Amino acid sequence: MTGLDQQVGAEDGAGEPPAVAPADGRNARRERNIEHVLDAVMEMFAEDALFPTMEQVAARSGLSLRSLYRYFADPSALVHAAIERHQSRTNEAARLSSIGEGPLAARIDDFAAMRVRLYEEFAPTFRATLANAHRHELVAGVLLDRRQAMRAQFEQQFAPELTGPKPQRHAIVCAGDALTQFDTMHLMASQGASSKQIRAAIVCGLRGLLDGPYQA
């Protein structure tokens, strides 16, 4: 509320708090049920059960199948909702406090640490997203949006180094983006690399790519 709004309210005698609408128990119960359902889906993702059926989720969440279908029309909507919720909860881990600022070495270290930390939080959901993208259009859209956002963030973080001719900038962005996407970290993890090793590989690659002149 602005100062002007407060002033007008006081002059109109509107300083008393508005009446509080009675709580709607059914809505609250519905929200709790949905949370239980999405928690069940996330548990299945963590167990590498990447294609949860409505029957499996109903059994795990304690809801009847009929109730589950009232909340989600099909497995596509269910998986999409779980992925979207988890993604929104990990957004804070993707933030860089001073994006594009500071010495290159510090920006590389910060970027690599953030991406690995984000992957650690999102890995089971990413595997489920990747597995379901070709089956469900909504999930494919989430995957595309995430990849585009990560590419844009790379360009922001390393904007000072992306000032050369267009072919050079494009080559650097393509290589750096590919190195720091979840897909690459997933590949390294599947080959046995630890989080520390993945971070070191990203730092090494970005230093070689960004620290010095590049000839297209």
Number of H helices, E strands in the chain: 10, 0
Q: Which domains are seen in the chain, by residue range?
A: 26-88 (1.10.10), 98-210 (no CATH)
More confident residue, 37 or 91: 37
d(CA 82, CA 40): 9
pTM value? 0.82
pLDDT tens column, 153-181: 999 999 999 998 999 999 999 999 999 99
Distances (CA, A) of 125 to 14, 44, 142: 48, 10, 11
Percent with pLDDT over 70 in the chain: 87
User: What confidence tier does 124 reach under pLDDT thresholds 50, 70, 90?
Assistant: very high
pLDDT tens column, 69-100: 999 999 999 999 999 999 998 888 899 989 99
Tell me the residue type at 28.
A
Residue 183's closest CA among 131, 141, 130, 135? 130
Q: What's the mean per-residue pLDDT of the chain? A: 89
